[in-house]
Amino acid sequence: MGTNTELTREANVLTRFLDAGDVAALVRGVGVRQAIVQVAGCVREDFLRWHEFEKSARLASHSAVGVIELMPVSDGNRFAYKYVNGHPRNAQFALPTVMACGMLADVQTGFPLLLADLTLATALRTAATSALAAQAMARPGARTMALIGNGAQAEFQSLAFHAMAGITTIRAFDVDASATARLARNLAKVRGLEIVPVRSVRDALSGADIVTTVTADKTRATILTPEMVQPGMHLNAVGGDCPGKTELHVDILRGARLVVEYAPQSRIEGEIQQWPEAPVSELWEVLAGTAPGRAGADEVTVFDSVGFALEDYSALRWLHATACARDAGRYVELVAMPPDPRDLYGWMMQANAEAVTPRACESTTAAETTEST
C-alpha cells in the first residue's frame, strides 16, 4: 500500500465498504481455512510488534441485557476500532448474540479507508488467535480436541485447530444437541477432520489433548472442574469475556500456566477475574519466545482469551488488503468531502434536496427558499 497514493486526493475520495455479504463472499473466495491461516499470520505479525501499538482496554457500556463495546487500537500508521455487542438473549428476537462492524483509518489524515462488517471476521480472528496460542502451548502431537459450546464460533474454532494445530478429531458437546448436530453437518465434508458428538462435558474431555470452551451464558458458570482436567491438557477458554462471565473453576487456574492477550483487560474480563493476583504471561511474549508457552509434558496450560482490539486490527488489515486485491465491496461517501474543505456549507448547498424530499417540506419558509437559490 503506497502511502503517497492514499494521501493524494483523487477525484473522489471514498471509503471502501464491505457489507456482511461482501465479507462472506470474500472469505468463501479465499477459502475459509486459508482465510483463518492468513488472518493468523496477520495476528502473529502484529503481536510480534506489540510495543508499536497504542493499547487500551475496551470501552464497555453495560445494560441489564447485554453490553455494547468500542475497541480502538492504533500503531501510528493505522487506527482501527470495532463496534461489537454481546446480548445473550438476542435469540428471542432471532438476532445474533454478537454483531460487529468496524473501521480502518489512516492516522496521517484521519481518513476512513475501510468500513466493514466484522461479525464474521471476529469469528475468524478469534479462532486464528486460539490456534496460534495452541501452537505454542499445546503438547506436540495433539490430535483430539474437546469442544464445549457448539454455537456460532464452533466451526471456526474447529477449522482453525484442524488447519493450524494438527487436530483431526473433535469431541463436541453442547447443552443443545441440535447445535452439535449442526456443527457435525456443516463440517461433514471436511477431509481429515472428524466431529464426534458426545453427551457430556466429561465425555468430551475423554482423551482430549486440547479443550476449547466457547459457551455463551453471561454468568459465572463452571463448565470445567479440576477433576476433569488431565495433566498435559491445553485449555483454550474463549467464552469467558466480560465481568461476571467465566467458564473454568478457579482451582484449574491455580494449577496451570496462564497466558492472556492483554493483562489489564483480561484481569477485568477473563477467567483470571476470579484470581486477581494470578501470574500470567501475555501471548505476544509467548509468540516472541520470551515467555514459555509450556514448561513440560504434564503441565496444564490455559489460554484465557477475551478478544483484544489488536486482533481486530489484524482482521481489518487482512480484510482491507484482500478486498483491495479482489476489488471487493463498493465505495461510499462515508464522510463529507467538499472540494474546498473550508466550504462545507457551499458543498451542502449543492446537494439535491429533492432527492430525499418525497413530499413538500412542511418546514420550508420563505427565508429558507430565498437562501436556497
Residues 209-248 that bind its own copies (CB under 8 A): none
Of 120 and 310, the one with the shorter C-beta distance to its own copies is 120
- Please pick, from the candidates 1, 48, 59, 177, the single residue that binds its own copies as defined by CB under 8 A: 59
Distance CA 59, CA 62 (A): 10
DSSP conformation letters of 266-309: HHHHSGGGGSTT---EEHHHHHHTSS-S-SSTT--EEEE----H
**Cβ contacts of residue 56 below 8 Å, gap of 6+?**
72, 73, 309
Contact call for residue 169 and its own copies (CB under 8 A): no
Active-site entry in 22, 174, 241, 304? 241
Contact call for residue 12 and its own copies (CB under 8 A): no
Contact call for residue 152 and its own copies (CB under 8 A): yes
For residue 81, give the 3-state DSSP assignment.
strand
Identify the H or E element spanning 71: strand 67-74
Contact call for residue 96 and its own copies (CB under 8 A): yes
Distance CA 313, CA 310 (A): 5
241: annotated active-site residue: yes
Contact call for residue 5 and its own copies (CB under 8 A): no
Torsion (CA) 341, 73, 67, 116 in degrees, nearest 10: 60
Please state the φ and ψ torsions of residue 256, each to the nearest 5 degrees.
-120, 165
Contact call for residue 141 and its own copies (CB under 8 A): no
Contact call for residue 307 and its own copies (CB under 8 A): no
DSSP single-letter state for residue 141: T
Contact call for residue 344 and its own copies (CB under 8 A): yes
To the nearest whole angstrom, how small is the minimum distance from the Cβ of residue 37 to its own copies?
A: 9
Contact call for residue 39 and its own copies (CB under 8 A): no
Of 48 and 91, the one with the shorter C-beta distance to its own copies is 91
To the nearest whole angstrom, how small is the minimum distance from the Cβ of residue 179 to its own copies?
A: 6
Contact call for residue 264 and its own copies (CB under 8 A): no
Cβ-contact 279, 273 below 8 angstroms: no
What are the residues facing 80 on neighbouring strands? 73, 104
Of 124 and 306, the one with the shorter C-beta distance to its own copies is 124
CA dihedral (174, 176, 181, 182) positive or negative: negative
Of 33 and 202, the one with the shorter C-beta distance to its own copies is 33
Contact call for residue 33 and its own copies (CB under 8 A): yes
Contact call for residue 181 and its own copies (CB under 8 A): no
Please state the φ and ψ torsions of residue 57, each to the nearest 5 degrees.
-65, 150
Distance CA 315, CA 81 (A): 11
CA dihedral (305, 47, 36, 313) positive or negative: positive
Of 288 and 353, the one with the shorter C-beta distance to its own copies is 353
- Please pick, from the candidates 46, 117, 247, 261, the single residue that binds its own copies as defined by CB under 8 A: 117
- Please pick, from the candidates 36, 39, 100, 198, the single residue that binds its own copies as defined by CB under 8 A: 100
* Number of residues counted as binding its own copies (CB under 8 A): 121
To the nearest whole angstrom, how small is the minimum distance from the Cβ of residue 255 to its own copies?
A: 33
Contact call for residue 52 and its own copies (CB under 8 A): no
Of 45 and 368, the one with the shorter C-beta distance to its own copies is 368
Half-sphere exposure of residue 12: CA atoms within 13 angstroms, side-chain side: 7
Contact call for residue 11 and its own copies (CB under 8 A): no
| Per-residue binding letters, 67-86, with its own copies (x by CB under 8 A) | xx-x-x-x-x--x-x-xxxx
- Please pick, from the candidates 43, 101, 133, 228, the single residue that binds its own copies as defined by CB under 8 A: 101
Contact call for residue 270 and its own copies (CB under 8 A): no
Closest CA to 86 of 95, 74, 73, 94: 95
Cell numbers that stand for 38 in this block: 492468513
Contact call for residue 147 and its own copies (CB under 8 A): no
Count helices and strands (H / E) in the chain: 13, 17
Catalytic residue ranges? 241
